[in-house]
Chains A and B, each alone.
Chain A
């Protein structure tokens, strides 16, 4: 116990951790629920759960715990939606969003910021289109595949940690990741995008 206390997350460490993870967490939630406000609520809920219930845990444990909490918070959101009978609306949103990668040019331009000012307009549009295409394909992955893929390659958890975060076997994680990679590669290639 004494050894554990010296490793407990300080307020600054917790703050740095949340700061580091919050944007990716928002995006992960957004890929799942496809609603900005809902994704923000989910991330806030996950942050508060972590802060209230796991404040006495070592800082090294926070990433895995947070990913698990975020997944659970997302599932809770879907359950609530199901109870409200809004799940069908979400599916119809899913279908319309997946229609063959037609990009809204206004949305594309809106997503740019000043840091890319040195790029030509064509390069900026092209880059933004690639990003949108990738995000679109990520959204279209089945939930478990998307979760496994993002935890493994974006959050950089290893197979065992991903399995722990998802509550499944390591074999399942490998299968989900493999399928996700194949589906993404195929879809992006079909759009003429080479990574």
Chain B
């Protein structure tokens, strides 16, 4: 460093920098050993507070984990457990949906049949009954009679 003519390789320069940096760091470490008592005590209190928070956080994580396991256990009991419990769980989820869709189809089909039956009943009653004389004065009915049939 003193002789400006000396050429230092990049690796050598980094090594020199690192050596200097570590020496400075050693002095800094020495300075941390001489911290005032009140600062050390405050740091200790902070550390204890942090550890207490960590304990609480761990408990919360453990409680969540236990609850998840408990829920899993309940499902296992219901669906027989074992390696096939996932399969049973999926099946149990699909069955109600399939039943609901089938129910909709059945209701729709029954409703259509009911409407057809009602219409047929009305048609049969109309065809079987006599046409009242007043009907012939209705222009719509006259038009209907005039309409050619296939």
Give me the interface of A with B, judged by CB distance under 8 Å.
11, 14-15, 18-19, 22-24, 26-27, 36, 40, 43-44, 47-48, 50-53, 55-56, 111-113, 115, 130-131, 134-135, 138, 149-150, 152-154, 156, 174, 177-178, 181, 184-185, 195
Contact = CB atoms under 8 A, between A and B. Distances in A.
Contacts of B58: 11, 55
A195 B51 contact: no
Interface in B28-63: 28-35, 39-40, 42-43, 46-47, 49-51, 53-58, 61
Contacts of B31: 27, 111, 131, 134-135
A134 B42 contact: no
Contact of A154 (B29, B46, B49, B54): B29
Contacts of B23: 195
B27 A48 contact: no
Interface of B: 14, 17-18, 20-25, 27-35, 39-40, 42-43, 46-47, 49-51, 53-58, 61
Contacts, number: 111
Given A22-B46, A47-B49, A131-B30, A178 B39 contact: no
A26 B35 contact: yes
A55 B27 CA distance: 32
B54 A177 contact: no
A181 B17 contact: yes
A178 B56 CA distance: 43
A115 B28 CA distance: 17
A113 B20 contact: no
